[in-house]
Amino acid sequence: RKEVEQDPGPFNVPEGATVAFNCTYSNSASQSFFWYRQDCRKEPKLLMSVYSSGNEDGRFTAQLNRASQYISLLIRDSKLSDSATYLCVVNAVGQNFVFGPGTRLSVLP
């Protein structure tokens, strides 16, 4: 079993749709959680950190369930510019950052 797993995708949605991505992790010692965005042929960039209480940044909402070792990302009112691969990332103290395989999103006009 991979340490971080994500919805396989791709997700093809119309503009304005709401889309949710799911991620599970296996290392119970994980302490920090992130969503990164990677555009085609570009490097990954931090989208948002994920906090235990859940957090929101504009149209993006991230949730964490430590008991189920589950992380989610919700994108509301999706835009064409949201088309990218979304990478779930977990980190345990003193250890490296582990990336999931990513879920590709295409927002269609």
32 binds another protein per the rule CB under 8 A: yes
* Total residues at interface with another protein (CB under 8 A): 22
Place of tokens 């999706």: 78
Q: Which of positions 33-62 make contact with another protein (CB under 8 A)?
A: 34, 36, 42-46, 49
20 binds another protein per the rule CB under 8 A: no
Convert 41-84 into a string of H (helix), E (strand) and C (coil): CCCCEEEEEECCCCEEECCEEEEEECCCCEEEEEECCCCHHHCE
106 binds another protein per the rule CB under 8 A: no
Query: Which residue lies nearer to another protein by CB, 58 or 94?
Result: 94
Query: Which residue lies nearer to another protein by CB, 42 or 79?
Result: 42
80 binds another protein per the rule CB under 8 A: no
Rounded Cα–Cα distance for residues 13 and 44 (Å): 22
DSSP helix/strand/coil, 6: strand
**Pair 61, 77: CB distance under 8 Å:** no
**Contacting residues toward another protein, per CB under 8 A:** 4, 32, 34, 36, 42-46, 49, 87, 89, 91, 94-102
